[in-house]
Amino acid sequence: MAQIPGPTWAYRVVQIHPLLKCNLRCLHCYSTSSPDQLPTLSLERLCSALSLLHAEGYNGVGISGGEPLLYAELPSLLQHIRKLGMIATVTTNAMLVDDRRAAMLRQGTDLVAVSVDGVPESHNRMRAHPRAFERMIEGVAHLKHVGVPFGFIFTLTLHNLHELSWLAEFAVAQGAGLLQVHPLEEVGRATSKLSGCAPDALELARAFVEVARLQKQYTGSLTIQYDVADLELLCAKPERGYAVEPAVACGTTDTAAVPLADLIAPIIIEADGAIVPLQYNFSRTYQIGNINTDGLTGQIQAWKRNNFHQFLALCRSVYDRLPQPAATEYPFVNWYGEVLQASHAVQSNVRPDPTRISGFGLQIATPAIHEACNDLSGNA
């Protein structure tokens, strides 16, 4: 029975947001986390869900939040993931890392991903904290001291590509093994704080050239991962974007018999326990289950039987809208963002606006939109 490869192929990730509490209120936060947020997921429910999802074929767990270091049960959660034999990564702002927490992360994770948003001034502005960069470096020093493998995650906007080379040099100097470049999506707090700042198709294309240049420069020192889809690959292999018929993809019409991880990855456990496909804040129309509701096995089986085809239809609709690579000057797309937007558009019967999120042609920003970005870019 074939696995639908999706965007990350053999690496099938469960992303967990055990809490939305954070020590920061970052401008780009897709989960709108803050110090005021309260809900947390119970360790027992999480461990039970992960055991089940491991049996369903998932082999990796990513932990975010909020700030995961504020989740009191994090050591126990990581221990459980280790027992299951799954790969564990934690995404953090690193400001709360001390030697004790670093030692805990050394025991329980395969890699710690530290969010860094450019040069110190840009980072502090995005983090809405004047000492965020300084305290991030202190946290990274603790990670290095105890030998935790770590990488940096950079959020690419319409305005900060020129800082990527600085960040690559910084990453190498700090001993990071990985620099991951994620395109900004205008969801969560970014909807209001960073309106119009998502990179458009032109910026994504320029970023690809810059990433390739930097990867050549830092060969052997740093791996740079650019997390957008190349239309050349995506159009040639629609299964990479889940644009397939269920029977063709799975080799059977009985999708209930197929492990969930073979059908879809990543999946996200949101802070209220809901399991959704692909991305935080995915339309609940496609919800797979809820770990806080008993009978998760049955929920998953029901989703496979009754809802999986809807999810595939959604992905096919996104695929059908993609320009052919030969017909576009800018052949890169934030695929996750496109599917997320489509999930909500289908629910509300609103036709998705292809210029709102990067991917198709130039996004023509008005002066009003750039007014909103002035604080971020530092330009008047």
- Footprint of other proteins on 60-89 (CB under 8 A): 60-62, 64, 87, 89
CB 208 within 8 A of CB 233: no
Residues 251-270 that bind other proteins (CB under 8 A): 266, 268
Who contacts 191 (Cβ-Cβ below 8 Å, separation ≥6)?
Answer: none
Residues 140-159 that bind other proteins (CB under 8 A): 149, 151, 156-159
Residues 180-209 that bind other proteins (CB under 8 A): 180, 182, 202-203, 205-209
How far apart are alpha carbons 256 and 245 in whole angstroms? 15
The dihedral of CA 367, 368, 374, 380: what is its sign? positive
In order, the DSSP letters of 290-317 are ETTSS-HHHHHHHHHHHTHHHHHHHHHH
210 binds other proteins (CB under 8 A): yes
C-beta of 306: minimal distance to other proteins in Å? 25
C-beta of 152: minimal distance to other proteins in Å? 10
349 binds other proteins (CB under 8 A): no
Please identify which residue in 31, 37, 160, 283 interacts with other proteins, judged by CB under 8 A.
160
For other proteins, which is the closer residue by CB, 44 or 166?
166
How far apart are alpha carbons 347 and 286 in whole angstroms? 10
C-beta of 350: minimal distance to other proteins in Å? 23
The dihedral of CA 55, 300, 273, 94: what is its sign? positive
346 binds other proteins (CB under 8 A): no
The residue among 263, 366, 229, 242 whose CA lies nearest residue 315 is: 242
Write the single-letter amino acid at 12: R
Interface segment toward other proteins; rule CB under 8 A; list 47-55, 211-219, 244-252, 294-302: 211-219
Please identify which residue in 133, 242, 308, 335 interacts with other proteins, judged by CB under 8 A.
335
C-beta of 162: minimal distance to other proteins in Å? 4
The pair of structure tokens assigned to 228 is 């957008």
341 binds other proteins (CB under 8 A): no
Residues 12-31 that bind other proteins (CB under 8 A): 13, 15
Site string for other proteins, 283-322 (x = CB under 8 A): ----------------------------------------
C-beta of 116: minimal distance to other proteins in Å? 14
The pair of structure tokens assigned to 170 is 């910084």
Residue 333, SS3 per DSSP: strand
For other proteins, which is the closer residue by CB, 13 or 69?
13
Write the single-letter amino acid at 304: K
Query: What H or E segment, with its residue span, contains residue 181?
Result: strand 178-183
The residue among 5, 2, 1 whose CA lies nearest residue 233 is: 5
CB-CB neighbours of 289 under 10 Å: 24
246 binds other proteins (CB under 8 A): no
C-beta of 103: minimal distance to other proteins in Å? 21
